Structure formats: structure tokens, C-alpha cells
Structure 1
């Protein structure tokens, strides 16, 4: 029986889908290891050192056929110390050397280059991720460009249900961290309210920004318009998406977003940051709206434009679902991904 180790944050939806797909295709349960979470920087550093010693102990135990690791600059680096035949790393963002400025960016670029030159395969969930990989010295033949995909049996689209959605309703499914700029979204909602357009918002997820965002809702007097759901099981997400006409995400940086794919699959019209990762899947005012990064005023204008363009929205929804079915089907994509893993393992064993 093939032995596979997964290194990453198993509570994340992206990690869960990767694990699920490989377990289904391999017929085996993956071993998992992750760094314990901490709310303090000192705690995180201590836990990282503790995790490193746990990784070293694996060299005296099981020899793994495959090690799958999220993020080159953390779990990807740790994967190099596991006793394994093949090491596979998935980049999580446009680059894993983030933030790109300052000392942090400097040493993370060094780690990223060191890892990419030593692992056997590097996952790019979309082509936009490959630039950072190549700039870090990754050999092109090591890069696999293919998204994990969306479970289309789970994220279904029903045109009949879609017609029952309130005209002015949007959903945000990104974690409550500053980089996702939820505050700008709330300010846009308040601006539209002042202009006579009342928008209902479902804010899914949790994070350190939540107290500040709750206070901002009170300050802007939009508490009655915003529903903070907190963390929810992934099985409940399609229902919430199906209750919203628009999907909004406004980060300052972006890899290939599974959240965007989920929204497109269920039938939410995307209004997102104008970033290369989103440009790869959306054409301006054809199947979504791309908003200049950090331009909260323009975000409000984009939401209004979408509300006032129902024909465009309906055509976009059909176009997006067709694209997801053709290119982002979880079952077919994971089958191909695992096939590539086995091919690589066979080459290394020969």
C-alpha cells in the first residue's frame, strides 16, 4: 500500500479538498502533520521549532512514497527533511515569498528558491503562479499547472433556485484577515446605502479582523445588513452561496482562488480585485467585474453597476458554470493529478 504524508493546515478548505481527492484516488488514508496554532509570534516560532524536531523523527520511522506540502516557505521546506521517495509542494499564492518587501520577503525568497530546486514537483493551481516559480529557479519540467477543482456534485447550480435570490445580496467567503480588505467592502455597502441602494451581505469565516469589522458595522449603522456567520462546515457553503446574487472578494494579492471557483459554480456573479490571478478567469464586464486594488469607491460603483445590469449578470452566470464544468471538475482533475504523482514515483523508483 502506498504511503503518503500531507504537511499543511488540515483545517483549511483547500487542504481538505487536496487530501480528499488523493485519498479517493489512492484508496489510502493520508498521514498528516501540521504546526500547532498560536496567537503570538513567539508561540508560532516555538511551535515551528517543535514541529521541525517532529519531522526529523520521521527519518527513523516510516519511509513515505509521497510527501505533499503546502507553501514552499514553510511546509515545503520541512518536506525536505522527511524520509520520502517523492516530494511535491503546492504554492499557495501568487508567490509564497510574501510579503515581498523587507527582510521577511528577502529570506522567504531564499527559502522558496532552495525548496523549488530540490523538490520533485511543484503545483501551480493556475498559470499566474508559475512566474514566481520560474523566478525562484524552478525547472519548468517540475511544474504541474492544474487546479484541484470543485466538487460539482456539492457545488450545484439550479436556475430555478437562482431566480428566487434577492436582487441586492452579496456574499464574502474569505477569512477575516486584513489582506482581504473586508473593511473596504463594508464601507462600500454603507456608501450604497447612503445613495439609496440597500445591500444584504453574508460574511462567511473568522479571523483576527472580526472585532474591528463588527465595530465598523456599528459605526456605519449597517448591522442590520450584514450577517457574520463565523466558521461553517464546507458542506453548508453551497447553500449560502445559492442565497446570494453576487460574490465579492477584494484582496491585495491573490493566487488561484478556490473561493472564486465555488462562487462561479453555484451561480454568483464575481466582483473581485483586478489582479492577474483573477484576470486569468474573468473578462471585464463579461463574466465578472474587476475592481482596482484598494479602490473602495470603485468597488461600490462596481456593485451598483452589477445590480443595474441583470442581463449581463445572467449571461455571465451561465458562462461561468460552463467554464467550471469544463476545466474545474474536482473528480477529473484529481484523477489526472494523482496519475502524474504515480508517474513521477515510478520514474524515481526505476
Structure 2
């Protein structure tokens, strides 16, 4: 069996998906991706070169091609010679931003991709609405998270802080969509209020220097530690040592990062988006806060720190949910079993 992955292989979500398929198939996956470039123009050039490489390749044939994001790599997958094509939507919709010319052409591409691929991954039900609106056949949609390795993400007892000073953790890449500026401003507010708390920001990205400068400007070097990019295998230990988790993007699909936090007993404080509402009941097993509101974020952190034992049942329910619904071993078996079913059906049609 030959399997090809089209997507950004440095992303934790992509690595999880590939590792699961490799484990179940016993096959080493080949990968192709567009080189990273901070310049939009340069990235466009890279995408065009990548397209021509795919479209006019030497005719390599694959059994399965897996592609991440319907509006880019999913489109490229249509030009790969493969028996079955699988595309995973990355956000609540891949047609983002939804307004203007960008939204129009991305929905066009998305509609084309969804009509021609064999399987569409929705890592959660909240993602399926955009798929159906863009013409996806519901019978092609598989709604199941990839899952997380529960052997790595062990659970700690709730409301017992692991540290003399409580620690919050941020694990999203340092890009504008994740609004790290708002998080830094929230910790400035907490410092001004005299709330003793530390924030670990784990990850790398184009905004790293800008964020380090802002930490200095806000005079919160004693509160915020930018730890840079770390190996994904070291992340569980960081989460286990932390007390609460923060993520405040303005758009979100089904976040594996949220599941990782829930599994370790980190209390989630996340933006009030449909995708997060599917898992978080605000004030019970986490807090939902408005987008671009450092003050409300600071209020939520302070409320948790003042009475953490109030949320113990919610924290325990988070772990139970992950164990029952987001188990990497079980979910990847089901996912690859579906790949094999589609492949068998395609092979039968080829024989006939």
C-alpha cells in the first residue's frame, strides 16, 4: 500500500493523523508540502510551483492520498493519481475569511473538492454544517476526532495547584489568529490587580519577536514566559505541570489542544465560539470569554483562581469525556477501517 500526505507536516494535528494511519497500516507515509514563507507573494509563488509539480508529475500512483484543508491541499489532491482521496477540514470552515473575494473563491474551491473526494473528515459535528452548505454529500462525511494518546496525557487531581504560584499555559502557534496580544494584556491587568499568576506560552511562529517586545513594553517579564517551540512529545509534561489552559482565537474548528488540556486536568478558558460551546459549559467545566476582550479574560482567570475547588466536578468530567470520545487508539482504528472499506469498494469497481 502507498499512502501520500499533503499538508504541513510540522503541525501537531497533522503529525497525530499521520502517526495514527502509519500505526494502523504498517506503512510509512510519504509527504509533500509547500515550503513556509512569511511573505504572502512568495507563498503564492510556492503554491503555484507546488501545483505544477502535482499536476504534471511523472504519474506516481497512490492507494490513498490524505490532504489537510479543503481550500489548498485538498484541491491539490484532486490532481494526484490515487484510488481514494481523503480531505480533512481544518477549521469550522476552510473558507475563512468568509467575506469578500477570498470567501467567494474559497467556497468555490471547497465545493469542487467536496464533490470529488471519497471521504471528508469532520473532527467534530460543529464542522459539518459548513461542509453540507458547500455541497458535501453527508454520506461522505466521517465525524470523529483523531483522538489523543491518553498514556501520555495523564490526569492530575483537580483544584490542587501544582505550583506555589498558579500557572496558565498557552499552546497555540504564535500567529495573529490566536490573539496572543489579548492574553498578554490580560496578564498585565492581573498584575495591576495584584493577582499572583504566571503564564507559559509554548510554541513558535512569526509573531515571536513582536510578542517578546510586548512583554517588555507591558512590564510583565515576571509573569509571562515565552518558551518557544518544543517537541510535541514534551507537551504533555508542560500541560500536566500547568493549572489552567488559555486559547482565544477568533475562529476555531475542533481543537486537539483543548482536548489535551481537558485530559490533564487543566481548566480551559477559551473564546465563546460554536466549536468550544460543544465541549465547554461556561462556569462549570471551563469558561467561555468574548473574542478580543483582555478584561473579560482576566476576570475569568481571576474567578478560577479565587475558588478553584468549585470547578472540581467539571474538571473530572472533562477527563471522562476525553476517555470516552477522544481515545487515539480506538478512534484511529475506526478511521483506518473506513479507509480500507473505501479502498476495497474502489478495487471492486476497477475489477468489474
Into which bin does the TM-score normalised by the smaller protein fall? over 0.9
- Correspondence for 1:259: 257
1:8–1:33: 8 Å Cα contact kept in structure 2? yes
DSSP 3-state at the match of 2:94 = coil
TM-score by length of 2: 0.96
In the alignment, structure 1 residue 47 sits paired with structure 2 residue 46: yes
Q: Aligned partners of 1:57 and 1:229: how far apart in 2? A: 42
Q: Secondary structure at the match of 1:144?
A: strand
Q: Which moved more, 1:18-27 or 1:200-209?
A: 200-209
Q: Which residue does 1:125 correspond to in 2?
A: 123
1:42 deviates by 2.1
Gap change, CA 1:263 and 1:346, over 3 Å in 2 = same
With the length of structure 1 as denominator, give the TM-score of the two structures. Answer: 0.96
Aligned residue for 1:23, secondary structure, equals: helix
**Deviations 1:250-290, CA, capped at 9 Å, x for gaps:** 01000000110111111100000000000001111111111
Equivalence for 1:114: 112
Q: 1:161 to 1:61 in 2, by over 3 A?
A: farther
Deviations 1:175-205 (A, max 9, x none): 1111111111111111111111022010011
User: Distance between the aligned counterparts of 2:160 and 2:18, measured in 1?
Assistant: 31
**Residues 150 and 323 of structure 2 are in contact (CA less than 8 Å); yes or no, is this contact kept in structure 1?**
yes
RMSD value over aligned CA atoms?
1.4
> Distance between the aligned counterparts of 1:5 and 1:139, measured in 2?
24
Question: What's the CA shift for 1:95?
Answer: 0.5
Q: 1:66 aligns with which of 50, 64, 67?
A: 64
Using the TM superposition, give the Cα deviation of residue 163 of structure 1 relative to its aligned residue in structure 2, in angstroms.
4.9
| Structure 2: runs of 5 or more not aligned | none
Distance 1:338 1:102 in 2: 38
Q: Which residue of 1 aligns with 2:343?
A: 345
Counterpart CA distance in 1 for 2:5 and 2:21 is 10
How many angstroms does 1:310 deviate by? Answer: 1.5
Distance 2:158 2:281 in 1: 26
3-state SS of paired residue (2:222): helix
Give the superposition deviation at 1:83: 0.4
| Structure 2 residue 96 is matched with structure 1 residue 75 | no
Q: Give distance in 2, aligned partners of 1:164 and 1:300.
A: 20
| Structure 1 spans left out of the alignment, 5+ residues | none
> Once the 2 structures are TM-superposed, how far is the Cα of residue 316 of structure 1 from its aligned partner?
2.1
* Residues 185 and 163 of structure 1, relative CA distance in 2, 3 Å threshold: closer
C-alpha displacement at 1:225, in angstroms?
1.1
C-alpha distance in 2 between matches for 1:286 and 1:168: 19
Check conservation: 2:97, 2:103, Cα contact below 8 A.
yes
Give the superposition deviation at 1:162. 5.8
